[in-house]
Amino acid sequence: MSDTATTGQAATAAHPAGVRPGRRGRRTDWRAVGAFAVLTAPTVLGLGLFKYVAIGWSFLLSFSEARGTVDLGSWIGFDNYTFLLKDEAFRSSMTGIILFTIFIVPVTFGLSLGLAVLLHGMRRGRAFFRTSFLIPAAVSYVVAALIWKMSLFNGLPSGVANTIGGLFGWDVQSWIASTDPPLYWIVIITVRLWLQVGLYMILFLAGLQAIPVHLYEAASLDGASRWAQFRHITLPMLRNTSVAILMLILIAAFQAFDEFYNVFMTTTGNSTAPVRPPLVFLYDTALKGQDYGVGSAGAFLLTLLIVLVTLLQGRLVGFGRKD
Amino acid sequence: MSTSLTSRRAFLGGSLLFVGGMALAACGKDDAVKAGAKVTLEQWYHAYGEAGTQQAVIRYAKEYTKANPDVAIKVNWIAGDYSAKLHSTLLTPQAPDLFEIGDFQYVDVKNGLLAPLDDIIKGQEAEYSKASLDSATADGKLYGLKMMDDAMVLYYRKSVLEKAGIAAPQTFADLAAAAKKLTSREQKGLFVGSDGIGNAAYLLLWSGGGDLLDPEGKKVVFNSPEGVAAISGLKQLHDDRSLLLDFTTDWYDPGAFIQGAAAMQWCGLWALPAIKKALGDDFGVVAWPKFGDTGQAVSRIGGWFAAVNAKGKHAEEAKKFIEWLWIKQTDLQKDWCVSYGFHVPSRKSVAAQTTEFSSGPAKDAADILANTSRAYPNLWNTTMDSAFAQAVLKIAKSGGDAKSLLDEAAAKAQAELGKQLA
């Protein structure tokens, strides 16, 4: 609407000789409407068909008994939901992902911010390090997980981790198969950090570069220490960036799939994995086990959890609140 | 303005023509396949790893068309998660007319996806192993024809065992002792899978006289006293630290055995040519040894079944093709089993003619398959497998109480069984 109004005003300015272009602005410009429809229709239709219809269908499926079929019809109310909430495997999958999130989010956040600040303070070689840290973000999760599993952390004395351990006189460890102690967390967490930290670091770096230098100069003149400058200038000025990144990390954590799936995968699938995040659990249930009803119900429970946590986070750190 | 418009139109028109032409070209290619044939059957295979397999099945299809000019067969080679792709496609109009199935699942029959094949197997039952027939039979009808049998056996390195003064294990106690004795820093005694579980829990259960379901398939029984005792054997192997863990490939691949990372490995007959090439005659095979005095030696039978889409338009034609290829064409069956990979022909008469299985470890493996092999019941699905495997994981690695964990898993599997039969 504001666009047509502007056009109207511009027209008035350009043709002051008694024409009443204002009316023209109010008349529907069918060509524009047509162009709008033509240009947006593919996206709207695509989204509608492949996203919203699918989501709606899945929602209906979550109230049906749907084994090996996606036909609706055998309604069973909330049975799929109660089954999942009573299922020890699904519950431990959900609590597992919450604990994982509580750990991984601050670590990813802290490391990316720390690296960005270090890099921002460098005088030379910034471009080199920036690129080096960003490159892993372009690597596929599957490929990285397989490198971690088969090369870095394999259970042979010749594996990279075991070779390094050997230098310190440690025993040969089975990094993924051993559950007591759960060494597999080292594998999962390092691969995730390696893949993700670079990208968030770049976002932080962009935020840091937007902070006016004179703020730091003024603070230095006032005798503020480096820490005080970080605490009172950098962090507050990065607030919007931080909140956005925090949300991205949080959602990425809840959606963890690839590295868990591939690190623990065996010939028979993921049934012997010591941890199965919800997406792996749901993949096994819906696509391997062909139980689309329970799979859909689980997807909506996970969505509910993500929405709740995101809202809570918005409450706590004030996402979208105006300064 | 007008020129740019024209050129834009010309460009758009050109693009449309191009796309249209491509589409026509694609149709044309399709027509070429159909040339002369009234019916084209869509057939799905999972992507076999062995070189030459895809060309082989295409050749079989062409030979069939030569003999039956009315029917053409379009072979689709499906890479990736075959079972998930097959099952989701079977829900759509693009469903193939015939396809293969690895692990037979009762739910497919219940959902009416599979056409019964009783009329083509009539009189041929004695040709197939009981395990193969049982897996593919549901509610008294047969829904899949075994294309080939995969034997799974325990490979051992003769020279390594001899050096340590150990004979090939005949009981689980032998196996555990041998695995422990053969373990050093550079070599572990036994490899059952990267996760240290693999199929071992199933083998232990069967070898101890237990089973997954009762003979009627109504009750989950893996938590029987025999089952609890036998599955606990896996904990002993873990406690002894005699299992190879986190190897770069899983048990289906002979890498660990060939490289000497493990002195014994549970693997398939498919790996025998590679092992023979690498180790010569320095290896032997045995079944998974019996657990305790009441047990029996066991092995697992795998392989693929040919099945027909009951909802397909050409189910009758598809059945005729299956009958032609997997029952009548004994030469092609032999070619399929031994020319690319290494599988035992599923029909006893064909296996008997196949010289590859007349001597050495290959013969031992074929005998083990014939005498000891077990298969998962078709009511055993991924949800039940998952419940069982999670219990085994806790028993073997975390020292959980075997009885209570298996009872819990059995209750869960029983609920799932009830839902399947409902």
Q: What is the pLDDT of residues B316-329, one digit of tens each?
A: 999 999 999 999 99
Q: Which CATH architecture has domain B14-150+302-371?
A: 3-Layer(aba) Sandwich (3.40)
A268 inside 8 A of chain B by CB: yes
Q: Which chain B residues touch A150 with a CB distance below 8 Å?
A: 248
Residue A69 lies in a domain: no
Q: Does one domain contain both A164 and A248? A: yes
Residue A268 lies in a domain: yes
Task: Report the chain A residue with the minimal C-alpha distance to residue B106.
Answer: A68
Is B185–A157 a contact, with Cβ atoms under 8 angstroms apart?
yes
Q: Using 50, 70 and 90 to split pLDDT, how confident is the model at B91?
A: confident
Is B193–A267 a contact, with Cβ atoms under 8 angstroms apart?
yes
Residue A276 vs residues A6, A86, A251, B82, B390: alpha-carbon distances, Å: 56, 17, 17, 22, 11
Quote the pLDDT of residue B13. 64
Quote the pLDDT of residue B92. 87
Q: Which chain B residues touch A266 with a CB distance below 8 Å?
A: 193-195, 197-198, 250
Q: Using 50, 70 and 90 to split pLDDT, how confident is the model at A319?
A: low
* Residue pLDDT, tens place only, B235-265: 999 999 999 999 999 999 999 999 999 999 9
* Residue pLDDT, tens place only, A65-94: 988 888 888 899 999 999 999 998 999 999
**Which among B107, B261, B383 has the least Cβ separation from residue A68?**
B107
Task: Determine the structural domain holding residue A39 and report its residue range.
Answer: 2-52
B window 184-243, beta carbon within 8 A of A? 185-186, 193-199
Q: Does one domain contain both A292 and A240? A: yes
Q: Which chain B residues touch A156 with a CB distance below 8 Å?
A: 246-248, 261
Q: Using 50, 70 and 90 to split pLDDT, how confident is the model at B45?
A: very high
Q: Does one domain contain both A179 and A250? A: yes
Q: Does one domain contain both A145 and A276? A: yes
Q: Does one domain contain both A40 and A172? A: no
A208 by DSSP, 3-state: which? helix
Reported pTM:
0.84
Q: How far is A207 from chain B (nearest CA, A)?
A: 42
Res A158 pLDDT > 50: yes
Is A174–B245 a contact, with Cβ atoms under 8 angstroms apart?
yes
Is B389–A271 a contact, with Cβ atoms under 8 angstroms apart?
yes
A142 inside 8 A of chain B by CB: no
A287 vs A146: which has the higher pLDDT: A146
**Which among B246, B252, B385 has the least Cβ separation from residue A175?**
B246
Q: Does one domain contain both A98 and A236? A: yes
B261 inside 8 A of chain A by CB: yes
Q: What is the 3-state secondary structure (H, E, C) of chain B?
A: CHHHHHHHHHHHHHHHHHHHHHHHHHHHHHHHHHCCCCEEEEEEEECCCCCCHHHHHHHHHHHHHHHCCCEEEEEEEECCCHHHHHHHHCCCCCCCCEEEECCCCHHHHHCCCECCCHHHHCCCHHHCCHHHHHHCEECCEECCEEEEEEEEEEEECHHHHHHCCCCCCCEHHHHHHHHHHCCCCCCEEEECCCCCCCCHHHHHHHHCCCCCECCCCCCECCCCHHHHHHHHHHHHHHHCCCECCCCCCCCCCCHHHHCCCEEEEEEEHHHHHHHHHHHCCCCEEECECECCCCCCCEEEEEEEEEEEECCCCCHHHHHHHHHHHHHHCHHHHHHHHHCCCCCEECCHHHHHHCHHHCCHHHHHHHHHHHHHEECCCCCCCHHHHHHHHHHHHHHHHHCCCHHHHHHHHHHHHHHHHHHHHC
Quote the pLDDT of residue B209. 93
Is A284–B382 a contact, with Cβ atoms under 8 angstroms apart?
yes
A226 vs A269: which has the higher pLDDT: A226
Cα angle B248, B251, B255; round to 5: 55
Task: Report the chain B residue with the minimal C-alpha distance to residue A176.
Answer: B246
Q: Does one domain contain both A19 and A166? A: no
Residue A289 lies in a domain: yes
Res B30 pLDDT > 80: no
Please give the average per-residue pLDDT across A262-268, as a whole number: 89
Quote the pLDDT of residue B162. 95
Is A179–B398 a contact, with Cβ atoms under 8 angstroms apart?
yes
Q: Does one domain contain both A107 and A208? A: yes
How far is residue A215's CA from residue B206's CA, in Å, rounded to a whole number? 74
How many structural domains compose chain A? 2
B window 24-63, beta carbon within 8 A of A? none
Please give the average per-residue pLDDT across B151-158, as a whole number: 96
Q: Using 50, 70 and 90 to split pLDDT, how confident is the model at B35?
A: low
Is B111–A68 a contact, with Cβ atoms under 8 angstroms apart?
yes
Cα angle B101, B381, B104; round to 5: 20
B310 inside 8 A of chain A by CB: no
* Residue pLDDT, tens place only, A177-217: 988 889 999 999 999 999 999 999 999 999 999 999 999 99
A window 2-31, beta carbon within 8 A of B? none
Quote the pLDDT of residue B412. 94
Quote the pLDDT of residue A170. 87
Residue A128 lies in a domain: yes
Task: Report the chain B residue with the minimal C-alpha distance to residue A177.
Answer: B195
* Residue pLDDT, tens place only, B52-61: 999 999 999 9
How far is residue A191's CA from residue A145's CA, in Å, rounded to a whole number? 7
Q: Which chain A residues touch B397 with a CB distance below 8 Å?
A: 177-180, 274
* Residue pLDDT, tens place only, A35-66: 999 999 999 999 888 889 999 999 999 999 98
Please give the average per-residue pLDDT across A218-232, as a whole number: 91
B4 vs B102: which has the higher pLDDT: B102
Q: How far is B349 from chain A (nearest CA, A)?
A: 31
Res B221 pLDDT > 70: yes
Q: Using 50, 70 and 90 to split pLDDT, how confident is the model at B88?
A: confident
Quote the pLDDT of residue B36. 66
User: What does pLDDT average to over chain A?
Assistant: 87
Q: Does one domain contain both A137 and A190? A: yes
Helix axes A239-254 and A184-209, enclosed angle (nearest 10): 150
Helix axes A88-120 and B382-398, enclosed angle (nearest 10): 70
Q: Using 50, 70 and 90 to split pLDDT, how confident is the model at A9?
A: very low
Q: Which chain A residues touch B110 with a CB distance below 8 Å?
A: 67-68
A75 by DSSP, 3-state: which? strand
Q: Does one domain contain both A156 and A277? A: yes
Residue A200 lies in a domain: yes
Quote the pLDDT of residue A8. 43
Q: How far is B211 from chain A (nearest CA, A)?
A: 19
Q: Does one domain contain both A19 and A94? A: no
Please give the average per-residue pLDDT across B334-359, as a whole number: 90
How far is residue B389's CA from residue A289's CA, in Å, rounded to a whole number? 15
Quote the percentage of chain A above a pLDDT of 90: 64
How far is residue B235's CA from residue B201's CA, in Å, rounded to a whole number? 10
* Residue pLDDT, tens place only, B272-309: 999 999 999 999 999 999 998 889 999 999 999 999 99
Q: Which residue has the tokens 């460098």?
A: A122
Is A89–B386 a contact, with Cβ atoms under 8 angstroms apart?
yes
Quote the pLDDT of residue A181. 86
Q: Using 50, 70 and 90 to split pLDDT, how confident is the model at B220?
A: very high
Quote the pLDDT of residue B306. 96
Options 3.40.50.170, 3.40.50.300, 3.40.190.10, 3.30.1310.10; which CATH number does B151-301+376-421 get? 3.40.190.10
Quote the pLDDT of residue A50. 87
B399 inside 8 A of chain A by CB: yes
Quote the pLDDT of residue A70. 83
Res A233 pLDDT > 80: yes
Q: How far is A189 from chain B (nearest CA, A)?
A: 18
Q: Which chain A residues touch B420 with a CB distance below 8 Å?
A: 67
User: What CATH number should be reported for the domain holding residue A259?
Assistant: 1.10.3720.10
Q: Exposure of A264 by Cβ count < 10 A (0-12 exposed, 13-18 middle, 19+ buried)?
A: buried
Show contacts of B324-333: CB within 8 Å, 24+ apart. Answer: B324/B64, B324/B67, B324/B68, B325/B60, B325/B64, B326/B145, B326/B146, B326/B147, B327/B120, B327/B121, B327/B124, B327/B145, B329/B60, B329/B63, B332/B60, B332/B63, B333/B147, B333/B148
Helix axes A292-317 and A239-254, enclosed angle (nearest 10): 160
Q: Using 50, 70 and 90 to split pLDDT, how confident is the model at B377?
A: very high
Please give the average per-residue pLDDT across B359-373, as a whole number: 92
- Boundary of a domain, candidates A36, A52, A68: A52
Residue A13 lies in a domain: yes
Q: Does one domain contain both A166 and A33? A: no
Q: How far is A273 from chain B (nearest CA, A)?
A: 8
For the beta carbon of residue A233, count every other beta carbon within 10 angstroms. 17
Please give the average per-residue pLDDT across B144-166, as a whole number: 95
Query: Within 13 A of B408's CA, how many CA atoms are on the CB side?
Result: 17
Residues in chain A: 323
Residues in chain B: 422
B156 CB-near residues (< 8 Å, 6+ apart) = B168, B169, B263, B264, B283, B284, B285, B286
Quote the pLDDT of residue A18. 47
User: What does pLDDT average to over chain B?
Assistant: 90
Residues of chain B with CATH 3.40.190.10: 14-150+302-371, 151-301+376-421
Quote the pLDDT of residue A322. 55
